Amino acid sequence: MPTLGLFNKEGQKVGDIQLNEQVFAVEVNTDALHQVVVAQLANKRQGTQSAKTRAEVRGGGIKPWRQKGTGRARQGSIRAPQWIKGGVVFAPKPRDYRMSIPKSMRRVAMTSALTSKVVDNNMIVLESLEFVAPKTKEVVKMLNAFDVKKTLIVTAESNENVYKSARNIEGVSVLPVNNINVYDLLKFEKVMITKDAINKIEEVYA
């Protein structure tokens, strides 16, 4: 059963926490991680890109000049792709990029991502994280105490004060535990997570 240090927001160790090995000590499945990340990025795409083909561009119904005898290359329409303001070859059309991933694969990918953070010593567990009011300098002070920069902060519940305190810091993002995803876990170098958030993750995935 993996054990991590438990810290306060000043960077001082206040104890240890044992993590559930079914969630934080599984075999890392890189194939599942890849497929889930690809699907997640694909599902973010709006799929609204559109351009007109030569058949859809207005005008160009008449032949611009006669076929032979002018000395110029033969042309059938001024809306052909090689013309300025002509149609687009293989023009993109609105489409759905959504990919479906089985729940079991999403589960494997999530536990693999969490395990990789523990194995690489990139997970910091906080005893608690509360701010009386939004203060960016408080988050900067906390990050400096742990000497981290590109960080994902995970809280047990949606915390407006923590979110507002960190939103202007480059490379730092705050998510409640019910919104964490594989892409963000892998994107950020470090994960700072509260003890209560760890307990909620174990309730779901253990």
| DSSP per position, the chain | --EEEEE-TTS-EEEEEEPPHHHHSSPP-HHHHHHHHHHHHHHH---------TTTSS---S-SS-SSSSSSPP-S-TTSTTSTT-PPTT------------HHHHHHHHHHHHHHHHHTT-EEEES----SS--HHHHHHHHHHHT--SEEEEESS--HHHHHHHTTSTTEEEEEGGG--HHHHHHSSEEEEEHHHHHHHHHHH-
**Average pLDDT across the chain, whole number:** 93
Q: What is the pLDDT of residue 201?
A: 94
Domains parsed from the chain with CATH numbers: 3-45+101-205 (3.40.1370.10), 48-96 (no CATH)
With 90 as the cut, is the pLDDT of residue 159 above it? Answer: no
Answer whether residue 66 shows pLDDT above 90.
yes
Instruction: State whether the Cα torsion 3-199-188-125 is positive or negative.
Output: negative
Q: Is the pTM value of this prediction over 0.85?
A: no
| Percent over 90 (pLDDT), the chain | 83
153 pLDDT tier (thresholds 50, 70, 90):
very high
Query: pLDDT tens digits for 71-91?
Result: 999 999 999 999 999 999 999
Q: What is the pLDDT of residues 17-63, one digit of tens each?
A: 999 999 999 999 999 999 999 999 999 999 999 999 999 999 989 99
Across-strand partners of 17?
Answer: 4
pLDDT tens-place string over residues 88-134: 999 999 999 999 999 999 999 999 999 999 999 999 999 988 888 89
